Amino acid sequence: MVLMFLNGDGMRGGRLNGQLDGAPLLRAARSAAKYRYYSVGDRFPAMLATSDEGRSVLGEVYDVPMEVLRDNLIPNEPPELELGLIELEDGTACLATVLRPNLADSPELTDISDIGDWRAYRGIPVAD
């Protein structure tokens, strides 16, 4: 099992949450304020580590079996994202999908760092 930080449609109520194959939600969490947060063509969000003007991103931490990560999550991620290691606000290390650094200048990116929440950006209510 690995800790996986999700901050897009894989969260509760999201259209991709089923890909977790029942992996338990451990808690809602925020990343450390070390990231810029983008909407990629309004299709999905992406985090990118930064050394200045970083913000915190809202997400959820799941306890994901390696097989689910291998078979369900990673194969279905968009090509703009890759698996990375991030830091949460409380110092916990988690896996997350992050923007590939070579795409940082893509015209498809809209900076939503000041919002820091995919569901709020999209106007989607939080599921219970």
If one compares 15 and 112, the residue with the highest pLDDT of the two is 112
Concatenate the DSSP letters of all residues of 72-84 into one string: IIGGGS-TTEEEE
Is pLDDT at 114 greater than 60 in this prediction?
Answer: yes
Q: What is residue 93's predicted lDDT score, i.e. its pLDDT?
A: 97
Beta-carbon-side half-sphere exposure of residue 21 (alpha carbons within 13 Å) = 10
Q: What is residue 128's predicted lDDT score, i.e. its pLDDT?
A: 57
Is pLDDT at 127 greater than 70 in this prediction?
Answer: no
- Cβ atoms within 10 A of the Cβ of 49, count? 17
Is pLDDT at 49 greater than 90 in this prediction?
Answer: yes
Q: Under a CB-based contact definition with an 8 Å cutoff, are residues 23 and 63 in contact?
A: yes
Backbone angles phi, psi at 27, to 5 degrees: -175, 160
Q: What's the pTM?
A: 0.93
Q: Give residue-wise pLDDT tens across range 3-32.
A: 999 999 999 989 999 999 999 999 999 999
pLDDT band at 125 (very low <50, low <70, confident <90, very high): confident
Burial class (CB within 10 angstroms; exposed 0-12, middle 13-18, buried 19+) of 20: buried
